[in-house]
């Protein structure tokens, strides 16, 4: 039986129900997180990756939506570990916390309402392929901008934008969609940040390009500079830069490090996973599983 955290209690999943009048269901007024825990079979240990960082982002996202969380980051981390201990997973697991307007009031507004909070966990292997590489295409849907629905925040309503783009991409035979900003520069994937490699330098769209401020992106900025000695530049990226790039990859908690082998039906570099992407991916998997001593403190042991 799956246990979830709901209304400040640990309850069976079947008992965690919301009313059809819940405000957030109608107006997308919630923020969520996506966190991964990795099973380390050698140590018989489950490691949650970058746990406090995810809740720090959630708390700051809640500020944008004026949602009132009853727990601070430390408590949220403790509740998550407690929940995992109750469910006892011995496999890679995804953790989904959500804060939302739980009041039944009619009308879109952010004040005068109650905030609900829940967490559930679910087994998760690859969200998108990480082995041979994926084919992506630019969407006809533009990325939501900071003055419409801030992409910086994981706002539930903002994921309509992702769903439109991802559906279009899948219907066109791509594995994933890429977004351009309203201004026509490269932003990110439907649920992933993006990096490209040109002449050995790593480039990623900067925070003004309507990207989610990804935790994996941040991790890779550190690892690539400190462990691989690569130069990383955060700047505006033009669409055709991806056509001439040596390597492209997507990253995210779900996506991990996913090589992109084709953009808009043009092969990227050799058309296979590039050597720099392969090094980054290998290092990333070592770190998230708690196998890299220097970054072991990024992993919270559950058992």
Ligand X SMILES: Cc1ncc(COP(=O)(O)O)c(C=O)c1O
Q: Which positions touch ligand X (CB under 6 A)?
A: 34, 162, 188, 191-193, 212, 214-217, 252-254
Q: For residues 135 and 152, which CB has a smaller minimum distance to ligand X in the complex?
A: 152
Q: For residues 34 and 105, which CB has a smaller minimum distance to ligand X in the complex?
A: 34
Query: How many C-beta atoms lie closer than 10 Å to residue 266's C-beta?
Result: 11
With residue 221 as reference, give the H or E element that holds it. helix 215-226
CA dihedral 136, 139, 142, 144 (to 10 degrees): -60
CB of 95 to ligand X, least distance (A): 12
CB of 54 to ligand X, least distance (A): 7
Name which of 100, 99, 106, 98 is nearest 21 in CA terms. 106
Length of the chain: 303
Query: How many C-beta atoms lie closer than 10 Å to residue 199's C-beta?
Result: 7
Q: For residues 3 and 161, which CB has a smaller minimum distance to ligand X in the complex?
A: 161
Q: Under a CB-based contact definition with an 8 Å cutoff, are residues 153 and 31 in contact?
A: yes
Name which of 42, 51, 123, 127 is nearest 89 in CA terms. 123
The single residue of 66, 154, 272, 289 carrying the catalytic annotation is 154
Q: Under a CB-based contact definition with an 8 Å cutoff, are residues 247 and 280 in contact?
A: no
CB of 124 to ligand X, least distance (A): 12
Q: For residues 9 and 222, which CB has a smaller minimum distance to ligand X in the complex?
A: 222
Q: Under a CB-based contact definition with an 8 Å cutoff, are residues 188 and 249 in contact?
A: no
CB of 284 to ligand X, least distance (A): 11
Task: Provide the CA 205 distance to its chain's centre, in angstroms.
Answer: 16
Measured at the alpha carbon of residue 119, what is the angle toward residues 118 and 125, in degrees to the nearest 5?
150
154 an active-site residue? yes
Q: For residues 3 and 281, which CB has a smaller minimum distance to ligand X in the complex?
A: 281
Task: Provide the CA 160 distance to its chain's centre, in angstroms.
Answer: 15
User: Strands 176-180, 186-189: parallel, antiparallel or unpaired by DSSP?
Assistant: antiparallel
Q: For residues 3 and 280, which CB has a smaller minimum distance to ligand X in the complex?
A: 280
- Catalytic residues, by residue number, are 154
């Amino acid at each position: 039986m799956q246990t979830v955290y709901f209304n400040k209690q640990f309850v069976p999943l079947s008992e965690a129900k919301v009313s059809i009048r819940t405000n957030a269901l109608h107006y997308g007024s919630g923020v969520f997180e996506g966190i991964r825990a990795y099973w380390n079979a050698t140590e018989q240990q489950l490691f949650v990756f970058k746990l406090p960082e995810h809740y720090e982002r959630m708390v700051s996202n809640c500020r944008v939506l004026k949602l009132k969380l009853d727990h601070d980051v430390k408590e949220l981390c403790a509740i998550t570990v407690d929940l995992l201990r109750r469910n006892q997973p011995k496999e890679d697991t995804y953790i989904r916390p959500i804060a939302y307007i739980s009041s039944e009031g009619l009308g879109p507004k952010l004040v005068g309402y109650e905030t609900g909070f829940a967490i559930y966990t679910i087994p998760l292997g690859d969200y998108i392929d990480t082995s041979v590489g994926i084919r992506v295409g630019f969407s006809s849907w533009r990325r939501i901008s900071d003055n419409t629905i801030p992409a910086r925040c994981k706002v539930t309503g903002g994921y309509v934008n992702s769903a439109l783009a991802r559906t279009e991409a899948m219907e066109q035979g791509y594995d994933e969609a890429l977004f351009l900003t309203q201004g026509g520069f490269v932003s990110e994937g439907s649920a992933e940040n993006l990096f490209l490699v040109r002449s050995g330098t790593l480039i990623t769209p900067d925070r003004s390009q309507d990207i989610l401020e990804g935790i994996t992106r941040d991790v890779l900025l550190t690892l690539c500079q400190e462990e691989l000695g690569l130069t990383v530049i955060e700047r505006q990226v033009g669409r055709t830069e991806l056509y001439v790039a040596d390597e492209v990859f997507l990253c995210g908690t779900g996506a991990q490090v996913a090589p992109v082998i084709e953009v808009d039906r043009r092969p990227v570099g050799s058309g296979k996973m590039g050597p720099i992407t392969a090094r980054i991916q290998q290092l990333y998997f070592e770190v998230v599983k708690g196998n890299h001593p220097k970054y072991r403190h990024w992993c919270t042991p559950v058992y």
